[in-house]
Amino acid sequence: MKPQLLCTFTYIDQLPSCIGNVHKTYNNDVANLKCYSYIDTPRCIVCIYNVYTNEKRLKDTISINRKKDTNTFYSINALNSLIKVLNNGILDKTFEVEWVNYMNSLLLSDGLDSYKVIKIRELTI
């Protein structure tokens, strides 16, 4: 089974509990768990990890994708909105995004046709 990349949202004071819940929910079938703080709001944390089962979903968790060379994480809805903004309102799946502009960021959907870019920094756990 192909791993699924998940992103769980939490706060710094809830981080130990969140990490424990991730391992408990996915029966220790978790790989590459990394946590990032928002640069502009360091209290806000995202835990990003791979799981090999998709039977369950932890609260406050979404499926995401990653552009490895720029450490950019994004939801498909956010990517679609980004492409529309950059491509004069046209969703073209072949449009080339300049990922370097979104280095060390999390791109999330922010409504129907908009997105937000959150700059992130990896935490050392």
pTM over 0.85? The answer is yes
Residues 44-95 have pLDDT tens digits of 999 999 998 767 788 999 999 999 999 999 999 999 999 999 999 899 989 9
Name, in order, each residue with C-beta under 8 angstroms of 15's C-beta and a sequence gap of 6 or more: 35, 45, 47
pLDDT exceeds cutoff 80 at 1 = no
Measured in degrees and rounded to the nearest 5, phi and psi for residue 44 equal -85, 130
Is the Cβ–Cβ distance between 73 and 106 less than 8 Å?
yes
* Tokens at 36, concatenated: 């990032």
pLDDT exceeds cutoff 80 at 28 = no
pLDDT exceeds cutoff 70 at 8 = yes
pLDDT exceeds cutoff 90 at 117 = yes
Task: Of 78, 61, 62, 73, give the one whose Cα is nearest residue 104.
Answer: 73
* Tokens at 46, concatenated: 């995202």
